[in-house]
Amino acid sequence: MKNKQKNARKIVKPPKKTIIEIREQFKTIFDNSNDIISYIDRRGKIVDINKRINDILGYKPKEIIGKNFTQIGIIPLKDLANMLKLFEDTIIKGRIMPNFEIKLKHKNGRKIFIMEVGTSFIKKNGQVEGVVSIYRDITRQKRIEENLQKALKKVKEVAKLKDDFLNMTSHELKTPLIPITSQTELLLYGD
């Protein structure tokens, strides 16, 4: 009876994965994500970044890995101070970054809208060593929003023109009727 129980436990127990298998699974997920995934250490140095950076911002991972995120040139100067503050709050104060949107500069100079959609801490001995962040390209959605805003503005302009035209037409139609109404009243009722 004891042998049967031991054999049953062996059958039910899932096989242990080796570190190499786990690393390969992680690498597959990391490399095939539709979003940019980066690991930045506490000094701001990019430790790792997936190949999606090439598709979205035109840089190969090897061009970016090892550099400080502030020195790559993808963050507009006007946003750099805010990004440094966010990074400092995240690393030093241990606060998870709120989701935010930012325009980044593609290697060829065009603007790409990015939304940060997730941040997790990398900790060692209870200390934050870095952050893993996920960034999504929302350029297409932003362009659609801009086009909708422009269309809405045009619709409002056309509606105002229509209202102005109707008001003017109403006034123009009423103006000749006033003397006719007055003359008719004089004829009907006299002085």
- What count of other Cβ atoms lies within 10 Å of the Cβ of residue 119? 19
Are residues 163 and 127 part of one domain?
no
Are residues 70 and 123 part of one domain?
yes
Measured distance CA(114)–CA(136) in Å, rounded: 6
Condensed to tens digits (0 to 9), the pLDDT of residues 38-86 reads 999 999 999 999 999 999 999 999 999 999 999 998 998 898 888 888 8
Are residues 125 and 79 part of one domain?
yes
Condensed to tens digits (0 to 9), the pLDDT of residues 98-152 reads 788 888 999 999 999 988 878 888 888 888 889 999 999 999 998 899 999 999 9
146 located within any domain = yes
pLDDT band at 159 (very low <50, low <70, confident <90, very high): confident
Are residues 112 and 77 part of one domain?
yes
- Structural domains counted in the chain: 2
Is the predicted pLDDT of residue 32 greater than 70, yes or no? Answer: yes
**How far is the first Cα of the chain from the last one, in angstroms, to the nearest whole number?**
125
Hey, is 123 helix, strand or coil?
Answer: strand
Measured distance CA(51)–CA(37) in Å, rounded: 9
Measured distance CA(167)–CA(83) in Å, rounded: 52
13 located within any domain = no
Are residues 164 and 85 part of one domain?
no
CATH of the domain at 83: 3.30.450.20
Range of the domain at 82: 34-137
Are residues 128 and 40 part of one domain?
yes
Check residue 92 and give its pLDDT.
Answer: 77
Are residues 159 and 78 part of one domain?
no
Are residues 47 and 125 part of one domain?
yes
75 located within any domain = yes
Q: Which two tokens stand for residue 134?
A: 């996920």
Are residues 62 and 156 part of one domain?
no
